[in-house]
Amino acid sequence: MDFDFDVISRSWLYLFQTGMAFTLKLTALSMAGGIVVGTLLAMMRLSRHRSVALFATGYVNLIRSIPLVLVIFWFYFLVPYIAAWAIGAQEPVQVGAFPSALITFIMFEAAYYCEIMRSGIQSIPRGQVWAAQALGMNYWQTMANVILPQAFRNMIPVLLTQTIVLFQDVSLVYVLSIPDFVGAASKVAQRDGRLVEMYSFVAVVYFVLCFALSALVKRLHQRVAIIR
């Protein structure tokens, strides 16, 4: 087989400026949104109101039971109709591939971040809740000022590990013809007829980045003091 790895040197600028930049952007936005929504879901799951807890539990279990690629297609075709219903339009709203992908990853990752945050919240000694209540704090003040800061600190390594998984999962937006890193490499591969070379390069880049990030997370986990 005749390999031509010069195709990488000819296209690496496009791959990183267009593809990798998009992948990192979607990963960062999805992580931020997923942690916010996931934290709210975690608090709902721990709520004393049974209906609220059951709703959050049902959502988390449903999302975690469905393959991500199906969720991507589901939101891509459903969001335009939801937007039309929200604004009272007669026709589906053209939302676009990127907003649909962003909503998908936020809502999907929120289910996983929820379980991480729930574990973090439950790891905080109950006595700290009682101490906050003794100082006159209500539920939301206790969560915001006492529980969540410690939970976030405890869960930083796990949150970052889940973000690495998210970084890998973003490659699935390729099915929507979005030019992420994999999508950009696919375009070059199809154009030049060099599928093996381009996909091998993509695999190496993902391996190097994810391995390096995993090593950093492991080191961080060893240095962060877990609050007991």
End-to-end CA distance of the chain: 58
pLDDT of 158-194, one tens digit each? 889 999 999 999 999 988 888 899 999 998 888 888 8
User: pLDDT for 55-112, tens place per residue?
Assistant: 999 999 999 999 998 888 888 888 788 878 888 888 888 777 888 889 899 999 999 9
Per-residue pLDDT band at 225 (split at 50, 70, 90)? low
CATH 1.10.3720.10 is held by the domain 6-223: yes
Q: Where are the domains of the chain?
A: 6-223
The percent of the chain in helix, strand and coil, each rounded to the nearest 5, is 85, 0, 15
DSSP tag of 147 = I
> How would DSSP label each residue in 101-135?
HHHHHHHHHHHHHHHHHHHHHHTS-HHHHHHHHHT
Taking alpha carbons only, the member of 15, 16, 5, 6 closest to residue 188 is 15
